[in-house]
Amino acid sequence: MKRAVLLCALFGAAFCARAQGPQLGRLFMTPEQRTQLDAQRYGPPPGTPAPAVAPPPPPPPPPPPPMELNGMVERSSGRSTVWLNQTPQQEPHNQLDQARGGTLTLRLSSGQVVRLKPGQRYDPASGSVSEAPEGQP
């Protein structure tokens, strides 16, 4: 009986030893594999996005084009038409001031008031009023 128990114990131990599987042996075969594992270990975790770079600020809007008073007509009825940048402007969009020598009073979106005579140009970029060049439409 002792022999049978001993034989069963030895047979069981041998059977368990075979069930463990192959030995791992050397874990890293080449330096390239080690470098790859180090990169995975110390690099950013997979699936995390790279830090976003703030986009550059948008460029400033272009300055508005110059406004040129090309001409004006005042009818005997008192109604008037002025041409700003070759575009006719009917009343009440224009304000002619005959007391000031036929000038046009422009109220800009900034609240600034500009007075122009026919043939003058207002440049919003510099804020100056000048005579319009000859031959320009």
pLDDT tens digits for range 16-71:
655 555 666 666 668 888 888 888 888 766 666 667 788 899 998 887 788 888 88
Report the distance separating Cα 127 and Cα 33, nearest Å. 69
DSSP state of 48: P
Task: Show the tokens assigned to 114.
Answer: 């500009």
Bond from prior residue into 92 cis (ω within 30 degrees of 0): yes
Task: Give the per-residue pLDDT at 58.
Answer: 92
Least confident of 58-62, 91-95, 100-104: 91-95
pTM for the complete prediction?
0.49
Least confident of 83-87, 89-93, 127-131: 89-93
For residues 82-88, give the mean pLDDT.
86
Q: How confident is the model at residue 83 (pLDDT cuts 50, 70, 90)?
A: confident
Q: Which residues contact 73 (CB under 8 A, 6 or more apart)?
A: 80, 81, 82
Task: Give the per-residue pLDDT at 121.
Answer: 92
DSSP state of 8: H
Task: Give the per-residue pLDDT at 57.
Answer: 92
From 103, 84, 83, select the one nearest 95 (Cα to Cα). 103
